[in-house]
Structures are given as C-alpha cells and as structure tokens.
Amino acid sequence: MTMPSSLSEAACRVLGCPEPSEKARLTAAFVPAWRAGTIETIGQEQPPDRPARPAEPALKAPRELAKRKITQAPAGRIALLHALAHIELNAIDLAWDIVARFNDVDLPRAFYDDWLQVAEEEAKHYSLLAERLAALDSHYGALPAHDGLWLAAQDTGHDLLARLAVVPLVLEARGLDVTPAMIQRLKAVNDADSAAVLEVIYRDEIGHVAIGRRWFLWACEARQLDPRKAWVEAVRRHFKGQIKPPFNEAARRQAGLEPEDYLPLVDVP
Ligand SMILES: [Fe+2]
Ligand SMILES: [Fe+2]
C-alpha cells in the first residue's frame, strides 16, 4: 500500500474506497502513520460530496425499513447489528470528512489527533460488528439500510460549527441514550458477545461526544459565540429530527454535557 502524502489525501482515499472492510483497513493503516509522522502535512484535497459505498446494502427511507426486535432468534439481532454496522460505516466516513473538509479554518494539530482517534475507533466498531454478523451467518449488505446519517452530514458540510453541533453533539449523544437498553436486551437473550461489542462502542462513544464538545467550544470561542445559544441556533437550522428524552444523563455528563446544555434543544421545533 502506498502511503498518502498528506492527511487530506488519506481522507480522500478512505472516503473514495467503496469496500467497508477496506475502508476500515486503510483507516487502521493511515492513523498510526499520522501519529508516527509518516504523514506530515494536512494538504488541501477536498473530500467528495458523498463517500463511495458498496452496491449493497440498498439505501431506503427510514420508514421503509423493518422494525428490529431483539430476541433469541437471530433475525432481530442481525437486523440490529446490521443497522449499527451501517451507522459505524458512516461514522468512519464522517470522521475522515471532518478532518479534510474544513480547510478554510486554521485548526490546531490536536484537532486532527482527536478526529483521527475517532476514525480509528469507528473502524474498530465497524469491524467488531461485521465479525458478529459473520458469527450469526450474515454480513453487512444483507439487509437494506437508511441514508439519513449522511444527509445530516451534507447539511452541515459548509460549516465546522454546524457539523459539530449536529453530528457528535446530537447524533452521537443520542447513541449514548439508547445503547444501554440494547446491551441489556442482548444480555437478556444470552448474546453476551454482541453485548460486549456494544459495551466497547458505548465506552468509546462517550469519548467521541467529549471530543465533539471540545471542538464545538473551540469553534464558539473562535467566533466569540455563546455555546448554548450557538448550539440551539445550529440545531434549529441544520437538524430535521426531534431531540427528546429520556436522556442518559450520567453518560452525557461524562462527556461534559449538562442538562442545562441540551434541555433547551428539546423545545426546538
Ligand atoms: Fe462508533
Ligand atoms: Fe462515534
């Protein structure tokens, strides 16, 4: 494998790679190369509007997808793991996208270190879920998936502050709210291996929200904006869904989010 000469070239190589396991493999190779200084510069390559994807899964509207019930029978667990694998695949692309897209902003090295750590962990999450799917005689691509996550990303592609306000601080924080119940349910049907994978993901995702918060505050500071007001404003403009309880207060607090930060978002129409 030839090493990219800049970080933005690395990002474009990952984003342009259609094969999910190869995306994960490239990520696992490029991130240590950045840390070791083999990839030194950021560069100016612009990421594509949409990342390359395999022919399968077919992408459908969320309402066209079957509901997933976690039971002893594998079908429901496969549907859950497949949906999560799809989210993690998007998350790999989102991490690389944020690294390369906002080259209009003068970002410190710590920004790249943080988001590459996120990329590396998302690739690990994808691979762990793909392994569980294989153990259940399935694979990523076997079921349809939805395209909502990347559409949310495209809506914030023009503005780092908006991207941070929506992707880590709304979407990934939402993951913290819903994952503990999935873990419990998987344990209840004796799928300890899948539960263990979700526990790894859950722990790492607290860190991703914390990283999102760190750079959101940095972006607010740079523009001299009040973070709470800026968050409500950005969510109102760029997020189509609803933000509603129950919230996982403990996990959100671990990531640095206090109820006073996110409760105002509940009222956003
Ligand atoms: Fe993840
Ligand atoms: Fe994440």
Domain residue extents for the chain: 7-41+65-266
The answer, yes or no, to whether residue 78 has pLDDT greater than 70, is yes
Ligand 2 centroid, distance to 91 Cα (angstroms): 6
* For residues 31-39, average pLDDT: 97
The closest ligand to the CA of 98 turns out to be: 2
Instruction: For residue 77, name the pLDDT band (cuts at 50, 70, 90).
Output: very high
* For residues 39-43, average pLDDT: 95
The closest ligand to the CA of 211 turns out to be: 2
Residues linked to residue 60 through DSSP beta bridges, in sequence order: 146
* The residue type at 232: V
Strand 59-60 relative to strand 145-146: parallel, antiparallel, unpaired? parallel
The answer, yes or no, to whether residue 73 has pLDDT greater than 70, is yes
Ligand 2 centroid, distance to 113 Cα (angstroms): 15
165/111 Cα distance (integer angstroms)? 16
C-alpha torsion angle, residues 2, 119, 96, 111 (rounded to 10): -110
DSSP code, position 146: E
- Measured in degrees and rounded to the nearest 5, phi and psi for residue 4 equal -65, 155
* The residue type at 252: R
The answer, yes or no, to whether residue 66 has pLDDT greater than 80, is no
176/172 Cα distance (integer angstroms)? 7
234 contacts: CB under 8 Å, gap ≥ 6: 161, 162, 165, 166
Ligand 2 centroid, distance to 172 Cα (angstroms): 6
Instruction: State what percent of residues in the chain have pLDDT above 70.
Output: 99
Angle in degrees, 0-180, between the axes of helices 74-101 and 192-223, rounded to the nearest 10: 30
- Give burial (CB, 10 Å; 0-12/13-18/19+) of 78: buried
Q: What does the pLDDT look like over 172-199, one tens digit per residue?
A: 999 999 999 999 999 999 999 999 999 9
182 contacts: CB under 8 Å, gap ≥ 6: 70, 80, 198
- Contact 12/26 with Cβ under 8 angstroms? no
Whole-number pLDDT of residue 269: 63
The answer, yes or no, to whether residue 108 has pLDDT greater than 80, is yes
The closest ligand to the CA of 128 turns out to be: 1
Picking from 13-17, 18-22, 101-105, 250-254, which range would have the lowest pLDDT averaged per residue? Answer: 101-105
- Contact 69/76 with Cβ under 8 angstroms? yes
- The end-to-end CA distance of the chain, in Å, is 49
**What CATH number labels 7-41+65-266?**
1.20.1260
43 contacts: CB under 8 Å, gap ≥ 6: 5, 6, 7, 8, 9
79/160 Cα distance (integer angstroms)? 33
- Contact 132/193 with Cβ under 8 angstroms? yes
Joined tokens for residue 245: 């309880």
Instruction: For residue 104, name the pLDDT band (cuts at 50, 70, 90).
Output: confident
The closest ligand to the CA of 125 turns out to be: 1
- Contact 227/220 with Cβ under 8 angstroms? yes
Ligand 2 centroid, distance to 223 Cα (angstroms): 26
